[in-house]
């Protein structure tokens, strides 16, 4: 008997947000669906990372208007840990180092936040972890080292994807997972994210460039300019941006997402 994957939505409605009193988001409307991989592109300062942090609940990013509904539940009324438990995951653009906390301990602790001693499956966890390390081309010796301490930029980005693989979130936001990576690392991260994409989960990839998108093959591409979605389309939109840059979109009226 075939089981139909659960369907989920993350609906962002008229979202406004500010940082240090400066308005950055100016009415973002965006709908993410499980089973879809979505790309959010845009020039520097357009508000892409602000959207990610505002959704996750970073205290520096104050939402002044609008809603974000995960399966009808308003994320903005939840604490950061409650948003995580509800199924939202953010992969950081600049992952932090944590001295004294090994990567293996960190991943296991994160896993146990979603499980109990009764339903945790150590054997399955270890098997999946090894599979994901292989996907990402990561040395298992990294598991014994302090989280991100002394890691290269590529290793840090791989760790963010490894966290996503461990937690099985409903919606993942990856903030520029390709920044600072060489060609091989971009391919490893892109191909792994594509492999981990599930029919019952959605992924939003924030990026400036289309280079990682050739490995991801997004279902939808949205372009953010000046704090709002200015253009939406398919994979061809990313290719058009690669050829023309963002200037051809500037000044265009925001389109429905």
Encoded tokens for 10: 């993350």
Does residue 21 surpass a pLDDT of 70? yes
- How confident is the model at residue 253, as a pLDDT? 43
Encoded tokens for 101: 């906390």
Distance separating alpha carbons of residues 151 and 142, to the nearest angstrom: 9
Structural domain includes residue 256: no
- How confident is the model at residue 255, as a pLDDT? 45
- The helix (run of H) or strand (run of E) holding residue 174 is strand 171-175
pTM for the full model?
Answer: 0.91
- How confident is the model at residue 199, as a pLDDT? 94
Does residue 1 surpass a pLDDT of 70? no
Does residue 251 surpass a pLDDT of 80? no
pLDDT more than 70, % of the chain: 95
Confidence band for 50, pLDDT divided at 50, 70 and 90: very high
Structural domain includes residue 53: yes
Encoded tokens for 218: 């997004």
Structural domain includes residue 186: yes
Least confident among 154-163, 234-243, 244-253: 244-253
Non-local (6+) Cβ contacts of 149 within 8 A are: 97, 98, 99
Distance separating alpha carbons of residues 178 and 16, to the nearest angstrom: 27
Which structural domain range is residue 173 located in? 9-244
Mean pLDDT over 65-93 rounds to: 95
- pLDDT tens column, 177-186: 998 888 988 9
Confidence band for 2, pLDDT divided at 50, 70 and 90: low
Sheet of 73-74: strand order equals: 22-33, 9-19, 61-70, 73-74
Distance separating alpha carbons of residues 52 and 109, to the nearest angstrom: 23
- How confident is the model at residue 4, as a pLDDT? 63
Distance separating alpha carbons of residues 70 and 9, to the nearest angstrom: 6
Encoded tokens for 137: 């081309």
- How confident is the model at residue 111, as a pLDDT? 87
CATH of the domain at 170: 3.40.50.300
Does residue 254 surpass a pLDDT of 50? no
Structural domain includes residue 252: no
- Pairing relationship of beta strands 220-225 and 228-233 according to DSSP bridges: antiparallel
Supply the mean pLDDT for the chain.
91
Structural domain includes residue 78: yes
pLDDT more than 90, % of the chain: 72
Least confident among 16-30, 49-63, 107-121, 148-162: 107-121
| Number of separate domains in the chain | 1
CA atoms within 13 A on the CB side of 73: 14
Structural domain includes residue 253: no
Structural domain includes residue 195: yes
b/e per residue 136-167 (b: at least 16 CB within 10 A): bbbeeebbeebbbeebeebbbbbbbbbbbbbb
Does residue 115 surpass a pLDDT of 80? no
b/e per residue 193-226 (b: at least 16 CB within 10 A): bbebbbeebbbbbbbbebbbbebbebebbbbbbb
Structural domain includes residue 257: no
Non-local (6+) Cβ contacts of 110 within 8 A are: 163, 166, 167
Angstrom distances, CA of residue 192 to CA of 167, 177, 186: 15, 12, 10
Does residue 176 surpass a pLDDT of 70? yes
């Amino acid at each position: 008997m075939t089981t139909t994957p659960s369907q989920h939505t993350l609906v962002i409605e008229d979202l406004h947000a500010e940082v240090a009193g400066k308005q950055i988001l100016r009415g973002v409307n965006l709908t993410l669906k499980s089973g879809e991989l979505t790309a959010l592109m845009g020039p520097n300062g357009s508000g892409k990372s602000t959207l990610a942090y505002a959704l996750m609940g970073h205290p520096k990013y104050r939402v002044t208007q609008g809603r974000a509904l995960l399966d009808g539940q308003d994320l903005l009324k939840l604490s950061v840990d409650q948003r995580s438990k509800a199924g939202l995951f953010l992969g950081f653009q600049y992952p932090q180092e944590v001295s004294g906390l090994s990567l293996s301990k960190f991943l296991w602790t994160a896993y146990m936040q979603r499980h109990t001693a009764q339903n945790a499956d150590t054997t399955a966890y270890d098997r999946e972890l090894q599979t994901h390390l292989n996907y990402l081309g990561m040395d298992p010796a990294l598991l014994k080292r302090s989280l991100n301490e002394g890691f290269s930029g590529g290793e840090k980005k791989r760790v963010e994807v490894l966290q996503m693989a461990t937690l099985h979130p409903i919606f993942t936001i990856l903030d520029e997972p390709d920044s600072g990576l060489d060609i091989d690392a971009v391919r490893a991260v892109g191909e792994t994210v594509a492999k981990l994409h599930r029919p019952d989960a959605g992924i939003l990839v924030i990026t400036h460039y289309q280079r990682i998108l050739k490995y991801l093959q997004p279902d939808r591409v949205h372009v953010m300019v000046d704090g709002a979605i200015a253009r939406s389309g398919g994979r061809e939109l990313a290719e058009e941006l690669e050829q023309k840059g963002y200037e051809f979109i500037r000044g265009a009226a925001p389109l429905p997402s």
